[in-house]
Amino acid sequence: MSILLVLVLYLQASSQVARPAPVDDLETCPAVPNEANAERDWEDFEFSTDKPGSPMWYADLGCYRRAAEASREYLTRGPLLGVRESAISHLHMARYLAFAGDEAGAALALGGARRSDQRTAAEIALDWNAYVEGLYGFLVKDRGLLDARLETLRPHPTKATGTMAGTCHGCPAVSSGPIWRRRQTPPVPWSPAPPGDNEIWIRGRDG
């Protein structure tokens, strides 16, 4: 999947996507086990879909606010993370908040998703911060920032290059409705898969 296609999945609502409807009831969305989560390894916590209390476990139930809460509490109570891991967790937290309809909260969470470190050789040569800032521009309805960051990503030396110009010029005007959707066909940035095909997006770790 190209960079641009993944970016557009963030920026455009699509009729060909499906995800659980947001729910907030305690029966479906049990309280976050903060103490137990704080003892977990970051990779296990961040990407597990079958362990209760994991943000992706909550998200699969439609408990997006709980997922964001789990991320927030882990970032505060859990092990101190490196720049890369913290940025990925903040990006995921922003995603959950957007799914819950809290775009202001999602934009705030993205403030912690930028990276000051150098990307490793195993990661795709993507301008991570331009990617994050473009998503932020969309969330806060700043079309100028969004367009500028897409322009930065356009010359990216991947197969996405040829796709970007045509697709982004087709992006709709910034709207006020929910903007992120989960595509059923993997891989996408938030796919709960082990390293491998998703290395580009998860071990980057996301994008």
Tens digits of per-residue pLDDT, 176-186? 344 333 333 32
d(CA 41, CA 140): 33
Task: Provide the pLDDT for residue 51.
Answer: 97
Q: Is 59 left (phi over 0), alpha (psi -120 to 50) or beta?
A: alpha
Best-predicted range by mean pLDDT among 57-61, 190-194, 200-204?
57-61
Whether 109 maps to a domain, the answer reads: yes
Whether 112 maps to a domain, the answer reads: yes
DSSP state of 50: S
Residues 6+ apart with CB under 8 A from 109: 68, 90, 91, 93, 94, 97
Residue 132 sits at φ, ψ, to 5 deg, of: -65, -45
d(CA 178, CA 31): 25
Query: What is the mean pLDDT of the segment spanning 94-105?
Result: 96
Whether 196 maps to a domain, the answer reads: no
Task: Provide the pLDDT for residue 156.
Answer: 57
Whether 197 maps to a domain, the answer reads: no
Task: Provide the pLDDT for residue 154.
Answer: 84
3 state SS of 144? helix
Tens digits of per-residue pLDDT, 158-177? 433 333 333 233 333 443 34
Burial class (CB in 10 A: 0-12, 13-18, 19+), 108: middle
Neighbours of 195 (CB within 10 A): 12
Whether 175 maps to a domain, the answer reads: yes
Asked if pLDDT for residue 19 goes beyond 80, the answer is: yes
Residue 46 structural domain? 3-184
- Please state, in angstroms and as integers, the Cα–Cα distance from residue 90 to each residue in 2, 121, 162, following that order: 22, 22, 30
- Split into its structural domains, the chain has a count of 1
Tens digits of per-residue pLDDT, 23-75? 999 999 999 999 999 999 999 999 999 999 999 999 999 999 999 999 999 99
CATH label of the domain that carries residue 142? 1.25.40
3 state SS of 33? coil
Residues 6+ apart with CB under 8 A from 197: 186, 187
